């Protein structure tokens, strides 16, 4: 594991922290690859819930412009493809079967914001700030934001956010649906982890399949979706968690899920 990320297991939850606090966790090539490795490991290890956050005062400042500037001075090495690696990261986060939460401890800007939007949920500190940023450096969103933002915020709000380049407070972000919950900074981790542990203690197979059904529903007709639900149900019906839930219902007690 790279020293650019920190991994910690708390109960049923894995926390992955970006660890470039002096750069506000800006995404240089090394950090991108370290995060890709962590996302792949979360899938392989069958983590029950993944929390992504940053060390220091910022969540993620987006692309590391200092790295880009230095490469323009010295020449871009063969095989350097920041955009391609960023795309791979966003696709990996969005496609992860594990439930994901972005714990946004500070500013989330540009590609750093897009990375958070690829998660299932976003919990933000009250002091966190949000900016699309791209258009106000004369560029278009290029890390998935133009696809992710309208789905979370609605088309008009997403256009307003992108077109103006305005910096939004955490409360503005919550009101538009950009983030799920806002908490005082000193309580952010407590609130995020309480929710993460709730998800992580659930019937993992059913949650993973439900996530996949919902994420892909827009690509199917209702009739097609019903077929996919039936397929998923056949898998769920064979799990130990399903048997435990039925037993708990009969015995009038809370189920104790094991994640399989």
Using 50 as the pLDDT threshold, list the residues of the chain that sit under it: none
- Distance (Å, rounded) from C-alpha 171 to C-alpha 182? 7
Structure confidence by residue, pLDDT tens digits, 167-212: 999 999 999 999 999 999 999 999 999 999 999 999 999 999 999 9
- Distance (Å, rounded) from C-alpha 237 to C-alpha 215? 21
- pTM for the full model? 0.93
- Distance (Å, rounded) from C-alpha 167 to C-alpha 107? 10
The whole-number pLDDT of residue 136 equals: 78
Q: To the nearest 10°, the Cα dihedral for 94, 199, 38, 140? A: 30
The whole-number pLDDT of residue 2 equals: 76
The whole-number pLDDT of residue 154 equals: 95
Which tokens in the block code for residue 135? 């258009």
- Distance (Å, rounded) from C-alpha 88 to C-alpha 143? 9
The whole-number pLDDT of residue 1 equals: 65
The whole-number pLDDT of residue 69 equals: 74
> How many CA atoms lie less than 13 Å away from 85 in the CB half-sphere?
16
Which tokens in the block code for residue 68? 């880009």
């Amino acid at each position: 594991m790279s020293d650019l990320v920190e991994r910690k297991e708390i109960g049923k939850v894995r926390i992955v922290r970006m660890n470039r606090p002096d750069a506000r966790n800006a995404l240089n090539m090394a950090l991108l690859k370290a995060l890709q490795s962590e996302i792949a490991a979360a899938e392989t290890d069958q983590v029950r819930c993944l929390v992504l956050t940053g060390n220091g005062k910022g969540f993620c400042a987006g692309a590391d412009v200092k790295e880009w500037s230095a490469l323009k001075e010295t020449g871009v090495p063969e095989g350097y493809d920041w955009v391609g690696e960023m795309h791979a990261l966003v696709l990996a986060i969005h496609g992860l079967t594990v439930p994901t939460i972005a714990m946004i401890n500070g500013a989330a800007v540009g590609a750093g914001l897009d990375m958070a939007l690829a998660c299932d949920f976003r919990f933000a500190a009250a002091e966190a700030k949000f900016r699309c940023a791209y258009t106000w450096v004369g560029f278009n969103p290029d890390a998935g934001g133009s696809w992710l933002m309208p789905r979370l915020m609605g088309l008009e709000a997403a256009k307003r956010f992108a077109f103006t380049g305005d910096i939004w407070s955490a409360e503005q972000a919550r009101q538009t649906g950009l983030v799920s919950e806002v908490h005082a900074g000193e309580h952010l981790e407590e609130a995020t982890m309480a929710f993460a542990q709730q998800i992580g203690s659930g019937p993992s197979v059913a949650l993973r399949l439900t996530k996949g059904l919902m994420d892909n529903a827009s690509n199917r007709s209702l009739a097609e979706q019903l077929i996919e639900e039936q397929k998923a149900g056949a898998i769920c019906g064979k799990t130990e968690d399903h048997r435990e839930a039925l037993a708990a219902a009969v015995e009038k007690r809370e189920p104790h899920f094991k994640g399989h």
